[in-house]
Amino acid sequence: MSCEDEAEKQATEIHQVIVVMVPFPAQGHLNQLLHLSRLISSYNVPVHYVSTAIHSRQAKLRLQGWNPLSSPNMMMIKFHEFPVPAFPSPPPKPQTAVEFPSHLLPSFYSVLHLRQPVAKLLSVLSLTTKRLVIIYDAVPSIIQDAVTIPNGEAYSFQPLSAFRISSYVWETMGRPRGIDDQIAKQVPSRASTLTPQVMEFIKTQEEHNKYSSGALFNTCRAIEAPFLDVIAKVNSKQWAIGPFNPMEVCKNSRHKCLEWLDKQVPNSVIYVSFGSTTTLSDEQIESLAVGLENSGQKFLWVLRDADRADIFVGDGRARKLPKDYEERIQLNGQGIIVRDWAPQLEILAHASTGGFMSHCGWNSCLESITMGVPLATWPMHSDQPHNALLVTVVLKVGVVVRDWMHRDDLVESSAIENAVKKLMTSGEGEEVRTRMLELCKAVKISVAEGGDSRRDIDDFIAHIRR
């Protein structure tokens, strides 16, 4: 039975509103829209999560912070897994300069073939609801047929920071108040953070954004009020309803690294991870290994290749470390190396974790903020340089490991050692930690009853139920 037939069969009543989620096929996007699905379903709104079988399986496998089996609203989320043409999944290349992982591009183009099955699903669902709401992320061409549905309307989901997005429009608007001139001078151009191939893909989608009736942001005013205000000048309908990730982390089956963290003292461990789209060169790995060891600080390092387009095909290559390195740091109790997928939310929520050396993907930034863990920033590509600037210069809740101006340079072990010491043991690091804890508290107030983020999600739900 096809997914649209199943949807028709299961429809036993006319819903006031149904939401269809169409995520972009990359980990950070799949993750955010699954968290958003949970948030919306908590209002007793049925949610249909649409993707390929590979990416749907990936999203569910890597789900963190809540248990879908015990969630009372999980029954409100239905997954639709549509076939698309096979796409190659070559191994990623080491990051030697700014280069968005080009090996993922075939999967981006392949999911554009979801347009036809999504159109059929929307047509069926539209018969079972007073209003059909489509939330799309970076691939609006897939949902362009929504304009033919009388009771359908689409909303764009913005998976990036408001700081990054506001930088696009700030210059064209004559530099309105809200972005400090000194900060603006440091903002990198979009062209410097993306390859021409990725820019070309983005351009194929931009014309389809005209279908949007408003925008949703995974952020809140406690974090990005000035930049949301700038965007509001060109986008009057917007809702800042984040962060989406759970504030209180549900502990499922425990990863072995958490048992190691249990043995450490509070705020003593720096967590090191560069996300799902970065592969470091062997030379950079060696430098990082030496820097971490020489810092004398406890560390938990996730050392793995970037995701393939299909994470279920092939194995990541074994990453070379200095001779006897792993045995030595484990023997003296200084650190642990994790070579598989790590439960980042649980790691950041652990009392022993006192710092996070990160690529500054927006998911990672938000998770670090909501858990009150200060950052050591090392941006690699895309929105990450903007997020790193937001963290270190605007919010002042992190320290710099590598700035964007030196993105082509090897980060020496001495620079890594100094950054770790600054964050974890210096007076400056303590000030950064204090500010992060204050920001964490403000964010938790924002998402709690009566907070601005909670008011925005209440307002959005009221808007689509109007």
Whole-number pLDDT of residue 1:
47
Q: Is 29 a catalytic residue?
A: yes
Active-site residue identified among 29, 35, 55, 386 = 29
Alpha-carbon distance values, 419 to 338, 357, 403, 425 (Å): 21, 9, 12, 10
Whole-number pLDDT of residue 10:
47
Percent of the chain at pLDDT > 90 equals: 65
Q: Which of 61-75, 99-113, 181-195, 390-404 has the highest mean pLDDT?
A: 390-404
Short-list 56, 356, 29, CA closest to 218: 29
- Which pLDDT tens digit goes with each residue over 1-40? 455 554 454 444 578 999 999 999 989 899 999 999 999 9
- Which pLDDT tens digit goes with each residue over 45-94? 999 999 999 999 888 888 877 765 555 556 689 999 999 988 877 777 77
Q: What are phi and psi of 297, to 5 degrees?
A: -90, 145
| d(C-alpha 454, C-alpha 464), whole Å | 16
Whole-number pLDDT of residue 11:
46
Tell me the mean pLDDT in the region 168-182: 65
Contacts of residue 269, Cβ cutoff 8 Å, sequence gap at least 6:
261, 297, 298, 299, 300, 352, 353, 354, 355
Q: Global pTM?
A: 0.92
Active-site residue identified among 35, 80, 103, 137 = 137
Within a 10 A sphere around the Cβ of 93, how many other Cβ atoms?
14
Contacts of residue 211, Cβ cutoff 8 Å, sequence gap at least 6:
140, 143, 144, 146, 147, 154
| d(C-alpha 60, C-alpha 65), whole Å | 12
Q: Which sign does the torsion angle of CA 427, 404, 219, 165 carry?
A: positive
Whole-number pLDDT of residue 257:
94
Instruction: Report the mean per-residue pLDDT for the chain.
Output: 89
Q: Is 137 a catalytic residue?
A: yes
Cis peptide before 243 (omega within 30 of 0): yes
Short-list 23, 24, 28, CA closest to 273: 28
Alpha-carbon distance values, 395 to 107, 123, 340, 369 (Å): 35, 45, 32, 11
Distance of CA 405 to the CA centre of its chain: 24
